[in-house]
Amino acid sequence: SKRKLGLFNKVTELSILCKAKTALIVRSSNNELDACGYPDCDAVVQQFLTGKVITEDYDKKKKEEVVEIQRLEYETIVDKLMELKEEEKNLEAINDEAEKSGYGIPDWWNGSIDDMSLESLQEFKNSLETLKLNLRLNLDAKKLM
């Protein structure tokens, strides 16, 4: 296993450094075959047996696999984007409904504190303190779980 891994690493390293096509087939003590090759063990063995260069097919197959993987990733991203857009629409609808019913975020909450009166600043401060207290209580409750 360590020896086999070392052999495989050396074969791959030599292949890359010398730009050589290599294949190594090893039989373990329990008669299992393990193979390593560069650029592909099967392609190198087929080329040795038939004399035909098969790496073009191998390269084409690898490129097709990469393209397929990227296509699947793209589809996943597009699906997630569509889900996010749908969630955004739902959130906007909820916010619109909340504003119509009077349960939305108060206007003074989003305003500049420079424009607030003393009474509004006091209400803002009290709201922030209440928020801070609620956050601490929730955090403590989660720590106990």
- The pLDDT tens digits of the residues spanning 50-79 come to 887 765 666 677 777 888 889 899 999 999
Residues 47 and 80 in one domain: no
Q: How many CB atoms lie within 10 A of CB 37?
A: 19
Residues 44 and 71 in one domain: no
Residues 100 and 58 in one domain: yes
- Looking at the structure of the chain, the number of domains it has is 3
Residue 102 has pLDDT above 80, yes or no: no
Residues 4 and 46 in one domain: yes
pLDDT at 67: 84
CATH number of the domain at 42, please: 3.40.1810.10
Contact status, residue 71 vs residue 65, Cβ threshold 8 Å: no
Residues 18 and 38 in one domain: yes
Q: How many CB atoms lie within 10 A of CB 123?
A: 15
Q: What is the mean pLDDT of the chain?
A: 83
pLDDT at 107: 60
pLDDT at 80: 94
Contact status, residue 45 vs residue 37, Cβ threshold 8 Å: yes
- The pLDDT tens digits of the residues spanning 7-28 come to 888 888 888 888 888 999 999 8
In whole angstroms, what is the distance from residue 11 CA to residue 9 CA?
Answer: 6
Provide the residue range defining the domain that includes 70.
Answer: 54-104
- pLDDT band, very low/low/confident/very high, at 109 (cuts 50, 70, 90): low
pLDDT at 75: 92
Is this structure's pTM higher than 0.85? no
**DSSP assigned state of 108:** H
